[in-house]
Every structure is written in C-alpha cells, then in structure tokens.
Amino acid sequence: MKRWAINVWLLGVKELRSVLKDVTLMALILFAFTIAIQLVATGLKAEVSNASVAIVDDDHSELSRRLRDAVQPPYFKPPVDIAREDVSAAMDGGRYIFVIEIPPRFQADVLAGRSPAVQILVDATAMTQAGLGAVDFQRIFAAETLDFLHARGLVAALPVTVTSQIFFNPNSESAWYSSVMQIVTNVTVLSIILVGAAVIREREHGTIEHLLVMPVRASEIAFSKILANGLVIFLASIASLWFVVHGLLAVPLAGSLALFAAAMVLYLFSVTSLGMWMATLAPSMPQFGLFAVPVYAIAYLLSGAATPLESMPPAIQMVARLLPTTQFVSLSQAVLYRGAKTATVWPELAMICGWGVLFVALAVQRFRSMLERQG
C-alpha cells in the first residue's frame, strides 16, 4: 500500500506539471472561474430588470398618475405615453414588454367602489420578465390604490392580504444564486474534460508506451490523473467561491466553507472518475467531445441548477434525484445558502460517495483493459 501511494504521488506530480504547463488549458480554467462567473452573475438576471413599459392613460386623474409614478427603475423603465391605435404595432415590433391601459373614469369608479380594471398587455416572448413583471404590477397597483383610498379616509381591503417573508435571499437577487450554480457547472464540465483529455492525450501522443514499461499498475496511473486534475479544479473553484463570489460579488456564504470544500472533494472524485471512464470508451478526442457534451448537458439540465426539480415530470424527478450532479447542487444550496450542517446533508454525501466508488471502479477496469490492448 505504501508503494502504491508513493507511485500515485510521483505520477500525480508528473501529471500536475503537465497540466500547469498547458497555457491554453490554464487560461481556460482561469477564465471559467473568474470572468465567466462574474458575467453570468451580473449579465443574466432572473428577476425583472429595466423592462420597457408603455402606458395608455385615458383617465388623467390623480390616481392614474400615482400608478404611473409607481412604475420605477431599476425594475422597469419609466413608462412612455403611447396612443391606443399604436399599441398593436408597438407590441408586434417588440418595443415594449408591457403596455398599461387605464380606462376612462378609473379614479371615479374606484371612489364609487365599482372595482374598475387596469389592463396590462404583456409580450410573453420575454418569458421570465413577462411572468414576474405581471405579478409585480398587480402588487404595485393594488398597494397604490389602497394608499390612495386610505389617504381620503376610505376603508378598502383586498379579499386576501399576502405577506411574504423571503429567507436566505431577501432581495431576490439572481446573482446570489447564479454565481454559485455557475461554479458547480464549471466544476462538472471541467472535471470531465480535463481528465478525459489527459487520458486521450497520453494515447494520441504515444506517451502511454512510456507508462507501460514502468513498474506501475493501472490503478496508480488512473488515480494519479484523477487526483492531479481534481486538485487543480478544487483550488480554482474554492478560490473563485471566496474571492469572486463572496468578495467581488458580495454574495454571503451562510454555511461552513470547510463542509462545502469536503463535499467538493468527494464530488470531484466522482466526476473525474466519470471523465476517465468516458475517455476509455472514446478512441479519439473529437469522439470524446461528442460523448461528453450530451452527458454534461443531461446532468446539468436535470441537476436543479437551471430548473427546479419540482417543475419536472415525476418520472424525470425520480431519475434526476439519483444523479451525483443533482445531489451536489442540492448540497451546495443547503450549505452555502441555508447554513446546513453535516447532519442535514449526509444523504447527499453518501450518494456522491457511492457514485464515486462506482465510477472509479469502472474507470480503473476500462483503463486496465486499454493498457493491456496497448501493450
């Protein structure tokens, strides 16, 4: 066992030097865990932001002006007046996401208790902003109308009063979520690619023959590649989480960074083993790339990082909950957002460990067969 560990260490150092000398690869890793994280967090927003709004005000009353003034940046752009006959052309041309139509005698009908309606036309091709923005308008207009009535001593109330208490992300900032999920995404794709490329590079460059004449076993070569490439990704991801996500983007980390780092080690062991196994199945780098893309895409889409598991069909949910990516996304959210402890996330840790053992067994078996064929 001691000899095995020494050989893994020496081969791992050799593999680590090979990775660090690859300038293009290191530049990709640096970009993925710095600029890419920042761009995704600040450039892609799930909440309503700077949505274009037009208004058709046929009332021109104090209440209609209050409703107009309540539509404010940074969620919405200042409303633009538009004639009723121009609404269809403006919506068809995509110039506005929302068009607000306030009917004549709107204020008078409100004061008389007739419950008039404000019509909001929505361009639902801007799906996220359309869905959330329509809800925001309902909340804003209801609040302004109630304040208007209360200021005149009139008692009015909605049938149901909703009081929201938002935990863990009180301002609903998408950057708090997308930045951490982008790190998980980058870890997954780079773990598969780096280890797979390392195996195929040895084979295509002919250096696999050098390994065959050395007194080392297939498991030692496989573990050295897994550990060396996993170490590079681990250091890059933890540095990105602390300096980019927590430092630059000011995202609070509620839980234990040590627990998350330990889970990251287990996840890297699992995914890098998967990448090595996939590399032994593909005879060339182009074929490995074609193999890796659908595997990564399916793992990402079913992980819960892009779409909540609860919104998927029940059969898909059952499959998704078994995947290591899904378990790690769930664990990351629990630890970093909600401050969960080991007692809470141990099922996810156990599932990730189980997949790691399975993938490394498959990888070592296939790697040994590949070396025997090369010999």
Mean pLDDT of 16-36: 90
Confidence category of residue 374, pLDDT binned at 50, 70, 90: low
User: How far from 279 is each of 196, 248, 273, 364, 370, CA to CA, in Å?
Assistant: 5, 36, 10, 11, 10
* pLDDT beyond 80 at 44: no
What pLDDT, on the 0 to 100 scale, is given for residue 232? 93
Residues of the chain with CATH 3.40.1710.10: 53-151
Are residues 187 and 271 in contact, defined by beta-carbon separation less than 8 angstroms? yes
State the DSSP string of 240-251: IIIIIIIIIS--
Instruction: Give 15's contacts (C-beta < 8 A, 6+ positions apart).
Output: 198, 224, 225, 228, 229
Look at the block and give the residue holding tokens 């960074």.
257
The string of pLDDT tens digits covering residues 196-255 is 888 887 776 666 656 666 667 777 878 888 899 999 999 999 999 999 999 999 999 988
What pLDDT, on the 0 to 100 scale, is given for residue 172? 75
Instruction: Give 27's contacts (C-beta < 8 A, 6+ positions apart).
Output: none
* pLDDT beyond 80 at 370: no
Distance CA(79)–CA(69), nearest Å, equals 8
**Options 3.40.50.300, 3.40.50.20, 3.20.20.70, 3.40.1710.10; CATH of 53-151:** 3.40.1710.10
The string of pLDDT tens digits covering residues 85-113 is 999 899 888 899 999 999 999 999 888 88
The string of pLDDT tens digits covering residues 268-318 is 999 999 998 898 888 788 888 888 889 988 888 899 888 888 888 999 999
The string of pLDDT tens digits covering residues 153-201 is 766 555 556 677 778 877 778 888 889 999 999 999 999 988 888 888 7
Look at the block and give the residue holding tokens 């006959």.
85
* pLDDT beyond 90 at 138: no
Confidence category of residue 150, pLDDT binned at 50, 70, 90: confident
Encoding tokens for residue 93?
């041309």
Mean pLDDT of 26-45: 89
Confidence category of residue 11, pLDDT binned at 50, 70, 90: confident
Encoding tokens for residue 143?
């609040």
Say how many C-beta atoms besides its own lie within 10 A of residue 105's C-beta: 14
